[in-house]
Amino acid sequence: MSSSPAILRHQDDAMPAAAAVTEPTPVPVMTPTPAPPSFGALAGRWYRLNQDSLRATAIGVISLAAFLLVWHLLTTYRVVFFVRFTNVPSPLAVYASFTKAIHDPKFLLHILLSCRRIFFGFSLAAIVGVLLGLIMGRFKLVHEIVFPVAEVLRPIPAIAWVPMAIMLWPTNEQSIVFITFLGSFFPILVNTLHGMSLVDPVLVRAAQCLGARERSIFREVYFPASLPHIFTGLTIGMGVAWVSLIAAEMISGQYGIGYFTWEAYSLVQYADIALGMIAIGVLGLGSSLLIRGAGQLVMPWRAK
Amino acid sequence: MSEIATATPQGHIEVKNFSLSYETIDGSVEAVTNTHIHVKPGEFVSIVGPSGCGKSTFLNAVAGFLKPTTGTITVDGERVSGPSAERGMVFQQYSLFPWKTVRENVEFGLKMRGMPRSQRERAARTLLGLAGLEAFEKHYPEKLSGGMKQRVGIVRALATGPKVLLLDEPFGALDAQTRVIMQQILTNMWQRLKISVLFVTHDIDEAIFLSDRVYCMTARPGSIKAEIPIPLERPRQQSMMMSSEFLALRRGLMSLIREESLKAMGGEINDLGMQGLNIELHGHSLADVI
């Protein structure tokens, strides 16, 4: 679990480099160059310092391009080799439907509604999951009461809740948000609990002999000490939230990007299927980037 | 600063008839037994003993983390019933809050007391200045060296103006050079603040160099084997550690500890089949061999 921040951090390295890669030349142009180190020396030094992230960015770009190229070739030649590419839309067709879709208010509404469901379902799960996890971690009795129930409910996939959710909630919208909530709730709860169980008891002692009472210890020690694990839970929870949302939308939705994708299949608009899938991927990536950014804001001590 | 520099020495620690045992499946095990110690106001007292003798357990009881099975612990006549800011503690593992900057760590005790932000910031800066850590106030502990971390740990414990300072092998994890410097810093702060100090260590030189008095503990279950006054003059210099007076104290304390270490290891020695050694177990000659 602790290995994940390291992976996240590594990718971060690539980001500023990606931005810098596009503008290496304007830098020496803007600075008047009587400064002793020549442009070549500066560029060389900059290159050496950023060598690793440059390499990663370059390989990343090449690999994405190769992916698109293979996709393009497979679809233009309609390859049939166990899997059939006869009906799969080409990247260009998907791009064409993308340019059309961004001007279509209905498509944007689909995206907006999915984002809203994620926002409500995930936020609710984050608040309830983290609070419950902190309380369960601190008070044994609450843990003993809640844990068995949670353990029984946890293995049930959020999708399996769809019929029950439709019965429970008066509107479709509410049941979809509920399913999104369920999907992200358990990873958040479990990771918060895990974080609480790993709090160094010596830090609690240190706080106690500095005069901290129960409430302050909770706020000043247990909570910040659990934050790295809480954010692991949030990251996993966000992923599962999207999985659950898309499934729920495909089964019972009237709007949303999952519904859009399913509808495209029913209407034989194959390019829109791929467009919907890519949109889901981009939204999922964007939301996990948001969480990572929030994590870095909240835990400055973990920055390099 | 007024609450930090207490003019009149206070912090009289008295431990009477102390014992502490804990329950295991095989019955109750005694960690510390029948222990009496006292620390006069403003005195620097060390506890040394073989590893596992229960000296840390004892210190944790004085801090209020553990309840004595029998006996009483009082500070200035008041019975210890739990941890409090009156008894500052410094831990071997530094135990700084990683999510707080150096200054926020030092401020913590003042914050708990409800001191307004600007005031406690000023107090923390002054204290950090005394420890030569001003430049690092905005750093997170992770970025500091071991010696700096422990200086922050000491400053943090002193910030609330405690009556006594308890230190649990605070320099055990530091290299020899840093340790010497830290001992000097601790001595300076102690002399300035006139605070009572109870210092637990297994380093005999450290105990003699720092203390007014040293208690030597027996092997488990720990109790006080001897009380050794250290009449060395203050201020003490490193060069003093070569003086005949220091060496005599060291020799005496060393043999006391060795005796106890061997007692604690007696079982192991038998297990290893080193029968020859066992015969001489009570004599000092064996201690010298080992």
What distance in Å separates residue A266's CA from the closest CA in chain B?
53
Q: Which residues of B fall within a CB distance of 8 Å from A225?
A: 99
All domains of chain B, ordered by start, with CATH? 13-238 (3.40.50.300)
pLDDT at A40: 86
Whole-angstrom Cα distance, residue A253 to residue A175?
Answer: 10
What is the least distance, in Å, from the CA of A301 to any CA of chain B? 5
Minimum mean pLDDT range among A62-66, A143-147, B23-27, B100-104 = B23-27
Range list of H helices, chain B: 55-63, 102-112, 117-130, 146-159, 176-193, 204-210, 244-271, 275-279, 284-289
Please check whether residue A169 is in contact with residue A175, taking contact to mean a CB–CB distance below 8 angstroms.
Answer: yes
Residues of chain A contacting residue B84, judged by C-beta atoms under 8 Å apart: 209, 211
Residue B29: predicted pLDDT: 87
Looking at chain A, the domain(s) classified CATH 1.10.3720.10 span: 99-302
Contact B63 A299 (CB under 8 A): no
b/e A250-263 (16+ beta carbons within 10 angstroms → b): bbbbebbbbbbbbb
Residue A206, chain B, CB below 8 Å: the answer is: yes
Q: Are strands B27-39 and A80-81 parallel, antiparallel or unpaired?
A: unpaired
CA distance A234 to chain B (A): 19
A202 confidence band (pLDDT: 50, 70, 90): very high
The residue among B236, B165, B166, B244 whose CA lies nearest residue B206 is B236
Cα of A214 to nearest chain B Cα, Å: 11
C-alpha B270/C-alpha A179 separation (Å) is: 66
Determine the residue of chain A that is closest to B153 in CA distance: A206
Instruction: Say if A202 is an interface residue toward chain B (CB within 8 Å).
Output: yes
Q: Locate tokens 């999952």: which residue? A: A258
Q: Which chain A residues touch B108 with a CB distance below 8 Å?
A: 207, 210, 212, 220
Residue B40 has φ and ψ, to the nearest 5°, of -75, 155
Considering only alpha carbons, which residue of chain B is nearest residue A213? B112
Calculate the CA dihedral of residues B254, B255, B261, B267 and round it to 10 degrees: 160
Out of B84, B96, B97, the one facing A209 most closely (by C-beta) is: B84
Are A179 and A161 spatial neighbours (Cβ–Cβ below 8 Å)?
yes
Q: Do A209 and B89 touch (CB under 8 A)?
A: yes
Given phi > 0 = left and psi -120 to 50 = alpha, else beta, which region is A301? alpha
Question: Residues B255, B284: contact at Cβ < 8 Å?
Answer: yes
Question: How does residue A143 score in pLDDT terms, banded at 50, 70 and 90?
Answer: very high
Q: Which of A198, A209, A231 to mutate to test the interface with B (most CBs of B within 10 A)?
A: A209
Interchain pair A203, B113: CB under 8 A: no
Interface confidence, given as ipTM, is 0.85
Report the topology of domain A99-302: MetI-like fold (1.10.3720)
Banded pLDDT at A16 (limits 50, 70, 90)? very low
Question: What's the pLDDT score for residue B270?
Answer: 52
Taking the C-alpha atoms of residue A29 and residue B252, their distance in angstroms, rounded to an integer, is 76
Query: Dmax of chain B from CA atoms?
Result: 68
CA separation for the pair A152, B49 (Å, rounded)? 52
Instruction: From first to last of the 290 residues of chain B, give the pLDDT tens digit.
Output: 444 444 455 889 999 999 999 888 888 888 999 999 999 999 999 999 888 888 999 999 999 999 999 999 999 999 999 999 999 999 999 999 999 999 999 999 999 999 999 999 999 999 898 888 999 999 999 999 999 999 999 999 999 999 999 999 999 889 988 999 999 989 988 988 889 999 999 899 999 999 999 999 988 888 999 999 999 998 888 888 899 999 999 999 999 888 888 877 765 555 444 444 444 444 444 444 44
The pLDDT of residue B25: 86
Whether the CB-CB separation of A253 and A109 falls below 8 Å is answered with no
Assess A298–B contact: CB distance below 8 Å, yes or no.
no
As a whole number of angstroms, the distance between CA B254 and CA B259 comes to 9
| Cβ pairs A/B, distance under 8 A | 66
Beta bridge partners of B164: B87, B196
Q: What pLDDT is recorded for position A2? A: 41
Judged against a pLDDT cut of 70, whether residue A113 lies above it is answered with: yes
pLDDT (0 to 100) of residue A68: 95
The radius of gyration of chain A's CA atoms, rounded to the nearest angstrom, is 24
Q: Which of B58, B73, B169, B160 is nearest to A212 (CA)?
A: B160
For residues B45 and B37, is the Cβ–Cβ distance under 8 A? yes
Q: What is the DSSP letter of B222?
A: B
Instruction: Band the pLDDT of A232: cuts 50, 70, 90.
Output: very high
Q: Are B154 and B128 in contact, with CB atoms under 8 Å apart?
A: no
3-state secondary structure of A83: strand
Q: Kindly state the average pLDDT of the residues A107-119.
A: 95
The structure tokens listed for A22 are: 């596009």
Chain B neighbors of A200, CB-CB under 8 A: 95
The answer to whether A278 faces chain B, any CB pair under 8 Å, is no
pLDDT of residue B10: 80
Closest CA in chain B for residue A227: B99
Lowest mean pLDDT among A10-14, A171-175, A274-278, B95-99: A10-14
| Cα(B247)–Cα(A237) distance, integer angstroms | 64
pLDDT at A190 over 50: yes
Q: Using the beta-carbon criterion (under 8 Å), do A211 and B113 form an inter-chain contact? A: yes
pLDDT in tens, A24-54: 444 444 555 556 778 888 888 888 888 889 9
Reported confidence tier of residue A15, pLDDT bands at 50, 70, 90: very low
- Output Rg (C-alpha) for chain B, integer angstroms: 20
**Does pLDDT of A280 surpass 50?**
yes
Peptide bond into A300 cis (omega under 30): no
Provide, as residue numbers in chain B, all residues whose Cβ is less than 8 Å from the Cβ of A213: 112
Tell me the average pLDDT of chain A: 88
Chain B residue set in contact with A, beta carbons under 8 Å? 63-65, 82-85, 87-89, 91, 93, 95-101, 108-109, 112-113, 140, 142, 156-157, 160
| Coil/strand/helix, residue B216 | strand
Return residues 227-266 of A near B (CB < 8 Å): 227
Give the residue from chain A lying closest to B66, CA to CA: A205
| More confident call, B11 vs A14 | B11
Measure in Å the smallest separation between the Cα of B168 and chain A Cα atoms. Answer: 12
B221 and B30 Cβ atoms separated by less than 8 Å: yes
User: In this complex, is the C-beta atom of A17 within 8 Å of any C-beta atom belonging to chain B?
Assistant: no
Q: What percent of chain A has pLDDT over 70?
A: 88
Q: Which residue has the higher pLDDT, A22 or B107?
A: B107
Q: Does A202 contact B156 at a Cβ distance shorter than 8 Å? A: no
A279-283: list long-range contacts, CB under 8 Å, 24+ apart. A279/A111, A280/A242, A280/A246, A283/A111, A283/A114, A283/A115, A283/A118, A283/A242, A283/A257
Residue bearing the bigger pLDDT, A10 or A222: A222
